[in-house]
């Protein structure tokens, strides 16, 4: 009986070409596994394509709810954003995909897992760190790093390779953007984006959204409620988190929300430029942040902002299955105990405009914040506070003056 390999399969040209290459190079039975994290139309026709390409079996695993509940929502609770812009759409999908690949490998008794990530990108790191953490005994195959046996360097090469192995599928040789899509976002790289000097061709590029210039001239009000940091209702209707995100994607895309153009620092040491569409995710992150403004005390909010950056870096680097990520998430969960309330905002031409936030756990006091003197706050108390708060600054200035006078 042949040994088995589990291939992370998307149905695209790269992973289709990998099927006959694995059979030819290693004499494996190839078990294809497509993990559905919200790719939608990209999953059409996969079964037939995998069989035509020589796969022994294909698994299509719907893990959208698990993706949202166990990966997206914890990251939203953490307010984790990489380098102040990137909302980690590809980053937190990869560990879940790797987890499912390992589960199928165990089920099938496979000796190896194969992925189609290139040797220049972040995804090879994310896939392989996750597999190592979950299944250190399983061999990992990355064809694009197999210089001795993987001879293909272009789409044309891959198409010719497939045809030579009896696979004649309607793949186009013309260049297009390199995209990654899931329920949270879609990323775009390549073509004019390879040079930061070029403006993105948004008319050609955008999939989930339209530009703010083309968005409606009338704003639209949206209301979200949260319970302990988890979104529960949208415009008064109770929904599971994945359905809330689907609806927010439609609303955000309509109003040009969440389109970013970023040059980011990859894990492997190079800078890369991409455009990300994250309409629903941008709204969800902003709404959660607005609610926390009311509820978290100053020290907790300050500490959480510092740890949010660390959380984002860990996720970006593929270190989801680590003790530190678990510890940071435990801290974040403790901060969410009272993050319950309602957030209202207006979507208008790429902007999310506050329109009122309420919570039974709000620390905002109108009587304290107003200019009217109340019982809890005596303006005269501020004088003593300022004297003590600025004492070190005053002492330093006095000492410096003494030294100047001595000279």
3-class SS at 259?
strand
Angle between helices 323-335 and 298-316 (to 10 degrees): 150
14 catalytic residue (yes or no): yes
Q: Are 282 and 88 in contact (CB under 8 A)?
A: no
Q: In the beta sheet, which residues pair with residue 225? A: 233, 342
Distance CA 173, CA 160 (A): 10
Q: What are phi and psi of 61, to 5 degrees?
A: -110, 120
Distance CA 178, CA 180 (A): 7
Given 10, 29, 53, 94, which residue is catalytic? 94
Given 69, 155, 157, 178, which residue is catalytic? 178
- H or E stretch covering 123: helix 123-134
Distance CA 153, CA 174 (A): 14
CA 23 to chain centre: 34
Q: Are 111 and 4 in contact (CB under 8 A)?
A: yes
Given 10, 14, 36, 273, which residue is catalytic? 14
Q: Are 110 and 101 in contact (CB under 8 A)?
A: no
Strands 271-277 and 341-348: unpaired
Q: Which two tokens stand for residue 185?
A: 């976002």
3-class SS at 217?
coil
Torsion of CA 248, 249, 252, 258, to 10 degrees: 120
123 catalytic residue (yes or no): yes
Given 10, 36, 53, 123, which residue is catalytic? 123
- Which amino acids are annotated catalytic? 14, 94, 123, 178
């Amino acid at each position: 009986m042949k040994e088995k390999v589990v291939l992370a399969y998307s149905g695209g040209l790269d992973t289709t070409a990998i099927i006959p290459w694995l059979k030819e190079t290693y004499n494996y039975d190839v078990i294809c596994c497509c993990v559905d994290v919200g790719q939608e139309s990209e999953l059409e026709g996969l079964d037939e394509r995998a069989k035509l390409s020589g796969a022994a079996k294909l698994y299509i695993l719907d893990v959208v709810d698990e993706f949202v509940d166990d990966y997206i929502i914890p990251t939203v609770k953490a307010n984790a954003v990489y380098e102040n812009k990137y909302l980690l759409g590809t980053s937190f999908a990869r560990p879940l995909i790797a987890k499912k690949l390992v589960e199928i490998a165990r089920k099938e008794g496979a000796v190896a897992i194969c992925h189609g990530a290139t040797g220049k990108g972040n995804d090879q790191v994310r896939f392989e760190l996750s597999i190592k953490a979950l299944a250190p005994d399983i061999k990992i195959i990355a064809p694009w790093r197999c210089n001795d046996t993987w001879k293909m360097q272009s789409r044309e090469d891959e198409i010719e390779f497939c045809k030579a192995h009896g696979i004649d599928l309607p793949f186009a040789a013309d260049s297009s953007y390199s995209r990654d899509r899931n329920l949270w976002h879609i990323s775009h790289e390549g073509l004019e984006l390879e040079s930061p000097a070029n403006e993105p061709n948004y008319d050609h590029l955008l999939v989930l959204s339209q530009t703010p210039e083309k968005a409606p001239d009338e704003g639209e009000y949206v209301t979200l409620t949260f319970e302990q940091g988890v979104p529960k209702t949208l415009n008064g209707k109770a929904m599971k988190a994945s359905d809330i995100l689907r609806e927010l994607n439609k609303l955000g895309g309509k109003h040009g929300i969440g389109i970013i153009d970023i040059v980011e620092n990859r894990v492997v040491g190079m800078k890369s430029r991409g455009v990300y569409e994250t309409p629903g995710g941008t709204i969800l992150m902003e709404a959660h942040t607005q609610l926390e403004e009311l509820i978290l005390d100053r020290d907790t909010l300050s500490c959480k902002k510092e740890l949010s950056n660390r959380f984002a870096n860990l996720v970006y680097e593929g270190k989801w299955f680590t003790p530190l990520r678990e510890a940071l998430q435990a801290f974040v969960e403790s901060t969410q105990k009272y993050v319950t309330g309602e957030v209202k905002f207006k979507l208008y031409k790429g902007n999310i405009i506050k329109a009122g936030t309420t919570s039974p756990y709000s620390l905002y006091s109108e009587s304290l914040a107003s200019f009217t003197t109340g019982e809890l706050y005596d303006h005269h108390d501020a004088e003593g506070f300022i004297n003590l708060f600025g004492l070190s600054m005053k002492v330093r200035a006095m000492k410096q003056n003494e030294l100047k006078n001595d000279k």
